[in-house]
Amino acid sequence: MPVDLSRSLEFSGKLLEWVRGKGRILIFCHDHPDPDSLAAAYALKHLFLVKTGQEATIAFGGIIGRGENRNMVRLLEIDAVNVDSLDLNEFSVFCSVDTQPGTGNNSIPADCIVEVVIDHHPLRESTLQYRMVDVREDYGASATILFEYLKAQDITICTKLATILFYAIKSETQDLGREWSKADREAYLSLVPLVNNHILYEITHPKVPRGYFGSFNQAIESARVYGDVLVFNLFEIEVPDMVAEMADFLMRFDGIDVALGMGHFEEMEILSLRTNSEAINAGDLIQKVVVGLGTAGGHGMIAGGQIRPFSSDKALQKELELSLTRRLLAILGRDAGRGRKLLSG
């Protein structure tokens, strides 16, 4: 049975009706945007353009660092700009996609009045105050929600848009292997025949700088194993997404149920947590680990956090690693022994 689009039809209809005739639109992604965040923003921009003729600008904080994401933006011409380059007074409508105000992973100024929130992360109570809210925690990707709006509004999905949405769902759910719903599967499968495979291959096989291999080296060198928990520390990083990428990489180690990684980027400590245990919720767990230190959030299997500002002093970063490890092991009820290096000798 096909997915019921009535919720998407109703929300997108109300959204378009409300936004029509208002001034310039700004769409916020989360910081260091990933493909899902960029795709959702791009599709929302497209929806506005086709249905109301209004132009929208896509904004993010931080950088687009990961090779795949840089290729995606370049090859598929996603015109996203850094929020620092904009004068927010020029905009009259503010939207937030794949993130919610106050989460700590976006650069939405505290005095900016957001009115549209479309996301698939756990709903924050404070989000309910906004005018137009569509948060679907059971969806694997924000791009899937946007795919449904386009379908519900009878918008033709061209090759470029299809490739953007497909890559978002593909990477976010790891090809429907991680935290996907029936709706994600439906979107993924209906996009397959529309995708430009040549571009998709180029996106997924980026050329990477020397430092990329250094990160693997550092991740492996620093990794300590505490029973079924693995912790690694990249210290100074050039690409903030590297922590998440290395967390995924090290999760492959047989016998590991939880991986926590950290790295320092522009005066902040970036954390990433992964689990493949059904008994653990990664988003809840990382929030407990950073309580009183920073902000965090996420889904059942993947989560992230940030502590800012944080010193660039390596000794302090090592100290933080040890204290976060102690917290993590205590919360999980694991023995807080010294652990052992992933590779010894």
Of the candidates 316, 333, 338, 210, the one whose C-alpha atom is nearest the C-alpha of residue 262 is 316
* Least Cβ distance, residue 142 to Mn ion (angstroms): 5
- Estimate the crossing angle of helix 6-19 against helix 142-152, to 10 degrees: 80
Choices 52-60, 139-147, 278-286, 293-301; region in contact with Mn ion by CB under 5 A: 139-147
* Least Cβ distance, residue 78 to Mn ion (angstroms): 15
Size of the site for Mn ion (CB under 5 A): 3
Cβ neighbourhood burial of 178 (10 Å; 0-12, 13-18, 19+):
middle
Interactions with Mn ion, residue window 219-238 (CB under 5 A): none
Site pattern 29..58 for Mn ion (x: CB under 5 A): -------x----------------------
Cβ nearer to Mn ion, comparing 36 with 68? 36
Query: Can you read off the two tokens belonging to residue 257?
Result: 């149920």
Q: Kindly state whether residue 186 participates in binding Mn ion, applying the rule CB under 5 A.
A: no
* Least Cβ distance, residue 181 to Mn ion (angstroms): 13
From the CA atom positions of the chain, what is the Rg in Å?
A: 20
Cβ neighbourhood burial of 132 (10 Å; 0-12, 13-18, 19+):
middle
Cβ nearer to Mn ion, comparing 139 with 232? 139
Length of the chain: 345
219 with 250: CB under 8 angstroms? yes
Choices 78-86, 136-144, 227-235, 306-314; region in contact with Mn ion by CB under 5 A: 136-144
Residue 149, helix vs strand vs coil: helix
Cβ nearer to Mn ion, comparing 46 with 327? 46
* Least Cβ distance, residue 11 to Mn ion (angstroms): 18
Sign of CA dihedral 185, 186, 187, 193: positive
* Least Cβ distance, residue 82 to Mn ion (angstroms): 20
Cβ nearer to Mn ion, comparing 142 with 215? 142
Q: Kindly state whether residue 68 participates in binding Mn ion, applying the rule CB under 5 A.
A: no
Query: Can you read off the two tokens belonging to residue 139?
Result: 């969806």
Q: Kindly state whether residue 184 participates in binding Mn ion, applying the rule CB under 5 A.
A: no
232: phi > 0 → left, psi -120 to 50 → alpha, else beta; which? beta
Query: Can you read off the two tokens belonging to residue 255?
Result: 């016998």
One-letter amino acid for residue 257 of the chain: D
Given candidates 98, 134, 148, 257, which one binds Mn ion under the rule CB under 5 A? 98
Residue 47, helix vs strand vs coil: helix
Choices 88-96, 105-113, 142-150, 179-187; region in contact with Mn ion by CB under 5 A: 142-150
* Least Cβ distance, residue 184 to Mn ion (angstroms): 11
Query: Can you read off the two tokens belonging to residue 1?
Result: 């049975």
* Least Cβ distance, residue 141 to Mn ion (angstroms): 6
Residues that bind Mn ion (CB under 5 A): 36, 98, 142
